[in-house]
Amino acid sequence: MDEYLLAQHSELEWVHWWFSGRRLILAEVLDRWLRGKTDLELLDVGCGAGTMLEVLRRYGRVSGMDTAEDAVRYCRNRFPELEISVGRVPESLPLPGSLDVVTAFDVIEHIREADRALSGIHNVLAPGGMFVCTVPAYRWLWGPHDDLNHHCRRYTRAELVRDLEKAGFTVEWASYFNTLLLLLAILIRLGRKLFRVERAGRSDFDVGITVANKPLCRIFAAERFVLRFLRLPAGLSVVAVARRA
């Protein structure tokens, strides 16, 4: 991730509607699978500014890992009681079978050898351990934001499930999300291409926090109630819950 984008993300992850809405959705997903658990060993890879560490710590002893030293420094300052380390997947993962839960929220798409990363995560989980991940959806939505983030790929739901299964996981549940805003995103991307709007070097988060921030967060986060009962058929992102047998 570019240095400018890292600084932007650290500031925005706690307040921007997209991050806040995603956090509420993922908290709902995690609670569905981990409710009542308080003694688990958890690792959040690609922890960024640490917003999901706050959610994960309710289920046990959580640690974080990120490739960016600045992100790790930020998390250590915010969570001095947690173990946060600089490292890469799979090279820096702990001992095989040592974790109950690994999470990777918008991380796998950054890793060129994703198959090795997924196999490494599978290996570090104890039998019955759980892996929860999110990835951006659809190659045809590729834009400057993906280039700036150094993404290697975007996924369909079927592609993510396939890659998880190839790594040895049993996928228990997977769905698209950020569905309500998909049409808006399509119109924006098509408009940029049609009118040749140049946004090289610009992130999709290059907007200030405006009066629309809270309404957009509520719209996005409302999907968590739908996801309790069904899988959404399309969306800007994919979320999956997988297990090591």
* For residues 116-143, average pLDDT: 96
Residue 8 has pLDDT above 70, yes or no: no
pLDDT at residue 198 in the model: 56
For 101-120, give the DSSP string.
Answer: EEEEET-GGG-TTHHHHHHH
By C-alpha distance, which of 164, 168, 144 is closest to 155? 164
What is d(CA 194, CA 8) in angstroms, rounded to the nearest whole number?
Answer: 28
pLDDT value at position 149? 86
Least confident window among 6-10, 14-18, 95-99:
6-10
Question: Looking at residue 208, what is its pLDDT?
Answer: 54
Write out the two tokens for 60. Answer: 């046990």
Q: Are 101 and 129 in contact (CB under 8 A)?
A: yes
Angle ∠(120,238,90) on CA atoms, nearest 5 = 15
Tell me the domains of the chain and their CATH numbers: 3-244 (3.40.50.150)
Reported as type and span, the H/E element at residue 198 is none
The predicted-structure confidence for 145-159, as pLDDT tens digits, reads as follows 899 889 999 999 999
CA trace torsion 219, 224, 228, 230 (10° rounding): 60
Cβ burial, residue 10 (10 Å; 0-12/13-18/19+)? buried
Percent of the chain with pLDDT over 90: 71
